[in-house]
Structures are given as structure tokens and as C-alpha cells.
Amino acid sequence: MARRYDPERRDRLVGAAIRVVAAGGIGALSHRAVAAEADVPLGSTTYHFKTLDDLLVAALRRTARDWLDGLAAWERDSDPGAPLAGQLAARIEEWLAGDRTRLELEYELYLAALRRPAVRPIAAECVEETVAVVRRRTDDDASARAVVHYLDGLLIQVLITGRPFDRDEVHTALSALAPGRTGSP
């Protein structure tokens, strides 16, 4: 049987891995589940991704890139003279409004780095790029890092506990973390 030319197969497998994790969590990720989701032979997944960690790294790279591209677009489109605290609190509120499936997926893949060392460099790169975006709107690196740490902690806690988002509380916290250029609402 002739081999079918399929230049997008690797990319489709990454998309399938993301859908598998979104539907069933990291524990559902397997070469077999991804092959079934992508409607390709099992051998295709192991050809392109020798290990599950390789597949997980590719999935995290894609979701991290999507996250970072969205954050960069937000920063590019935001008013550089407006207070960061108010703008970022509004953005967080948007992320948490409605369907949280994508945000849950992003954090599930991000937190996979706790148990899977192969994923740690991608998670660390994502943190550093997020800090770089926030740094452009703060007075110093320490403030930017504090804002990113707060952002991660807040989003994880809201996703896990279902606690309602309190824009005023978040604005106050962001203003305290990066007072130089965050101003008041």
C-alpha cells in the first residue's frame, strides 16, 4: 500500500492531543487516544512523537503560544497611558467569563510540568514571556514578576474553587503589586 502524503499530520496530532486533554485531562492522553481523535493509524502518533512527553510538550507549546499571542495582542491594543491594574483586571474578567474550558486546558497543561520534567522548559518559557509582556507596562522586573505570580495564583484558585471573580479586589491587589504605573481605575 502506498504511503499517503499528509504534511499536516503532525500538526493535526497536536490538535488531537489538545482535544483529548481538554476532554479527559492529562490522564486521558495516550498515543492510542490521540490517534483515534485524529483518525489516523496508531503508528502515526509514535512516528511523530516517540513518547507521551514529546506529545505533551508539543501540546503545551501550542497552547502556550496561543496564550502568549493573545496576551501580546491585548497589550498591543491596550492604551499604554491607562493604568495597568484596571486594564488587566478587565482582561482577567474576560478570561473568566463564560466558558472556561480553554483556560482550564491551558492551566492543566502548564501544571503538568509539576510531574513531567520534559514540560518544565516550555512552562518556564511561557512564564518568562508573560513577564516580558507585563514588564512593558510596569516600572521594574520585580513588579512584573509579582503581577504574573498573582495572575497565575488567582486564575488557578478561581478555576479550582469556583470563587466568584471580584474585579475591585483584583484591581486593588494589582495596584499594590505594581504601583508605579498601574494607577487607579
Residue-level pLDDT, tens digit, the chain, 185 residues: 445 667 799 999 999 999 999 999 999 999 999 999 999 999 999 999 999 999 999 999 999 999 999 999 998 998 888 889 999 999 999 999 988 888 999 999 889 999 999 999 999 999 999 999 999 988 899 999 999 999 999 999 999 998 999 999 999 999 999 875 544 44
Q: What tens digit of pLDDT does each residue of 4-24 get?
A: 667 799 999 999 999 999 999
How confident is the model at residue 5, as a pLDDT? Answer: 67
DSSP 3: P
pTM listed for this prediction: 0.85
How confident is the model at residue 35, as a pLDDT? Answer: 96
User: Where on the phi/psi map is residue 78: left (φ > 0), alpha (ψ -120 to 50), or beta?
Assistant: beta
Cβ(60)–Cβ(112) below 8 Å: yes
Query: Angle at Cα 19 formed by Cα 154 and Cα 125, nearest 5°?
Result: 50
Domains of the chain, earliest start first: 1-50 (1.10.10), 54-182 (1.10.357.10)
